Chain A
């Protein structure tokens, strides 16, 4: 159990490509932090720098108060689960899990206790004498986790551990990682490109793009108050609808006029705009697909694609000026006739409330309501 502190950490490759820029982050003891972002954003590189598998070009990394910049991975007291499991193919599951303990020259009976206990927790006891090639993807991933577990490391690093699993197994393993976290009660740093994993697992999410941190916050903070346009579009599925429009101030009231429809910004959002005295002008307006409802009046749109997701519909629509929008509608509120009417070319009206809106500066792409 340990804190991890990263100060101005930078990674520049030999070909002068800067993978990570001045990365500052303070991870508290026993915290579960998830690095999330699209491919090439530097999240895995950052994790590998913490592990010591990648040299840092500048800055300082501290684990439990000790600077580890020049320490070998084996001296950092970390455990890591790799994307492709990285199980030793020539060893049995037992030997895979026992490998690190044998290197520490721990007595064999103690190793046996630790390995069998870890196997029991992960439900892989019956596979201990098998080679990794005789295991399924999910079982392999459990072995990889078991190998990391037995080390009693200060920090548990996971590099996209679920990305090689199918969707069903991924959901199951995600739940198991949440339970595992409770059992291990240690510091976790987890890398993923899947925002759902990030939202469900993390105490705090670090959203990255092109080597820069875009936002650090709890899942709720990142979802409710995205710091910028990138975070707004990255967090949430389907992604947030963004339209260019005008913010109008009439006395003490704010309005937006998307697609010629005037909507008042009320509730907390209106209060914040007033408190920050945001000037009127052109803005990027964001609203999530789940916050839009079908109505009799509002923004006229035409239905292009109707995706049946089971409990909800994802409606892909376009407005009169050909702007594409997405609407999430729970099927529970729709009659069979309503559902049948939601076919290609159907003319609909959309509405949404001011309190669910997000406002971004069109130049800086920053959230106008954030500090």
Chain B
């Protein structure tokens, strides 16, 4: 086919393309702004409600008439600090243990070749397809037999056990990331005198900051935001609740909603603070971690 070499026609075509790109971009940006607003409304709403002190129940207006931090102060006179501590210890413990297990598992599957390796990976893939909820009842029975449910006091060890136990199965993203690091680096380090553990800690992990951060963040977020399993295992014993279950317990009835709504909002903000700070500080690594494992470089 002969190319159109007429400069006027080419210019016209170029202008046409430019106009259509501008229209598309405008449409995309307007859509994104609308989505952002819709997405931000609940957050803004909760933050505003948490500073409203003229009443504790829901109101039909958005902006508080009286501003203050009374709701936050009130939190300290409830079980909230205990729930917060429960959740924080649990999330921290899971983040540390799960990160170690996932990274070791991923490194092993990425670098070692052993019998049934492929079979094991397939098995874990299939096993991961079953919803975790299916195991909830039997897990409760096991934890109850081990005296690790709410009625026996602190539920943190039991939940830690459950959250960490299946961590190894979440190896996919980090294994994909490790696969992109040349094996010759491991080999060079081994020739240089490093053992396998030193190769992992001194070579592979420093090169895998995004994936370590991604793994830690996701491991932290799981128990931090868990509701269903935490509620079931805690059996609503006040000392055993995490923040999600505890805060929800403040809204169990209409009367409670009337009395506790602004406290609930203040609690929600306090729960969101550490996660928000973590994500803001580490978002660059987080995105690299999510996308890094996806494409083999």
Contacts and interface: CB of A to CB of B under 8 A. Distances in A.
B34 interface: no
Contacts of A88: 185, 188-189, 203, 207
B183 to A, nearest CB: 9
Given A72-B190, A88-B207, A99-B202, 14 more contacts: A51-B187, A53-B191, A74-B194, A80-B187, A80-B191, A82-B184, A83-B184, A87-B188, A88-B189, A89-B207, A99-B192, A103-B192, A103-B194, A151-B193
**Leading 4 A-B pairs by shortest Cβ distance:** A100-B192, A86-B188, A86-B184, A103-B193
Given A84-B184, A86-B182, A90-B207, A78 B191 contact: yes
B195 A72 contact: yes
B198 interface: yes
Contacts of B297: none
Interface bracket on A:
20 to 34
25 contacts: A51-B187, A51-B191, A53-B187, A53-B191, A72-B190, A73-B190, A73-B191, A74-B193, A74-B194, A80-B187, A80-B191, A84-B184, A86-B184, A87-B188, A88-B185, A88-B207, A90-B206, A90-B207, A99-B189, A99-B192, A100-B192, A103-B193, A104-B193, A147-B188, A151-B193
Interface in A25-71: 51-53
Contacts of A53: 187, 190-191
| Interface of chain A, main secondary structure | loop
Contacts of B203: 88
Given A84-B184, A86-B182, A88-B185, A79 B191 contact: yes
Given A89-B207, A90-B207, A82 B193 contact: no
A100 B202 CA distance: 12
Contacts of B191: 51-53, 73-74, 78-80
A74 B192 contact: yes
A74 B188 CA distance: 10
A86 B195 CA distance: 17
A111 to B, nearest CB: 13
B193 to A, nearest CB: 4
A82 B190 CA distance: 13
Nearest to A81: B188
Contacts of A104: 193
Interface in A242-259: none
Contacts of A79: 191
B36 to A, nearest CB: 36
Contacts of A86: 182, 184-185, 187-188
B136 to A, nearest CB: 41
B159 to A, nearest CB: 36
A168 to B, nearest CB: 25
Contact of A74 (B185, B190, B202, B207): B190
Nearest to B192: A100
Interface string B193-216: 111001000110011000000000
